[in-house]
Amino acid sequence: MTATPFRSLEEKGFEIEFVSHAKSILLGEFAEALTELESVLAELDLPITEIIGSGGGETKFTQRARKALAAMGWEKHNFEISKIVDGVQRESTSHEVDHVRRVAGVGTIACEIEWNNKDPFFDRDLENFKRLHAEGAISVGILITRGKSLQDSMFDNVFRFTQERGIDSYEALAEEGYTPTPKQKAKVLKRVQRAKNPMPFAEAWTSNFVSDKYGQATTHWAKLQHRVERGVGNPCPLLLIGLPARIVRFDEQKIEELSEFDAATEETDT
């Protein structure tokens, strides 16, 4: 591992930030694990149809990343912390982490991927890292989320999709495999059909879609930085990684319809 970790990723637009001596710890003790993580991130590929067709939970994109990490030994683990007084267990807490990488005789890394959750999930992850670090269970916590370039380009990417596919109505969207919830449909048609300054369908749908699914209240780089700057998770050493717009690929597949669970989630999330 070179003295400048993740240089190749930074050249591809990834945002990389080390907090509380995480760089020294990772370079000094976990160089092989860093190389593994870098190799997984370098291969990430995000089709535009998965951005549009996925629900608010686990996307195929996230599943691919998780499987790649798990194949390298970054597996899910449930940490159990108990307090015992005179041989009697007084309390017990558990902290599930999606990706844990242990290095024998050295320590443990905890990693979470927050692709598109509600932003309070950052508080949960950072507080978990803080507790686990305080108990000596982990050496470093890693959080991976949408980077600034990816978040900022979401409207342009989705709008480009509508232009390339000739999307000018919900009928055209249906032909591509996308079915909106009644609430989403009503909000868009209200903009399209209003008497004063009606909005073209593609623009109205893109604006509503991006705001609903990838809005400011979801997990992305700015929200993560804001929490870390406030000291959430401190003093646990952290590595923060923002995924770039560059990983988006404009494929020619149909959009996969949302599951009933995802559709219900989007119906209630405004």
CATH number at residue 203: 3.40.91.20
pLDDT of residue 209: 95
Judge whether 85 lies within some domain: no
Write out the residue range of the structural domain in which residue 130 sits: 9-78+90-268
pLDDT of residue 58: 67
pLDDT of residue 54: 64
CA angle 40, 64, 146 (to 5 degrees): 70
Judge whether 17 lies within some domain: yes
Q: How far apart are CA 195 and CA 188, in angstroms?
A: 14
Judge whether 105 lies within some domain: yes
Q: Which residues are registered as beta bridge partners of 238?
A: 19, 141
Distance between terminal CA atoms of the chain?
44
Q: How far apart are CA 117 and CA 67, in angstroms?
A: 19
Picking from 16, 1, 2, the residue whose alpha carbon sits closest to that of residue 238 is: 16
Structural domain total, the chain: 1
The packing angle between helices 31-42 and 22-29, to 10°, is 100
DSSP string, 16-83: EEEETTHHHHHHHH-HHHHHHHHHHHHT--EEHHHHHH--SS--HHHHHHHHHHHHTT-EEEEEEEEE
Judge whether 83 lies within some domain: no
Under a CB-based contact definition with an 8 Å cutoff, are residues 90 and 58 in contact?
no
Q: How many CA atoms lie within 13 A of 13 on its CB side?
A: 15
Query: For the chain, where are the E strands, in sequence order?
Result: 15-19, 46-47, 75-85, 88-103, 107-114, 140-146, 238-243, 248-249
DSSP conformation class of 87: T
Judge whether 84 lies within some domain: no
Question: CA torsion 153→159→163→167, rounded to 10°?
Answer: 150
Q: How far apart are CA 69 and CA 5, in angstroms?
A: 18
Judge whether 74 lies within some domain: yes
Tell me which residues of the chain have a pLDDT lower than 50.
1-2, 56, 258-270
Judge whether 4 lies within some domain: no
Judge whether 256 lies within some domain: yes
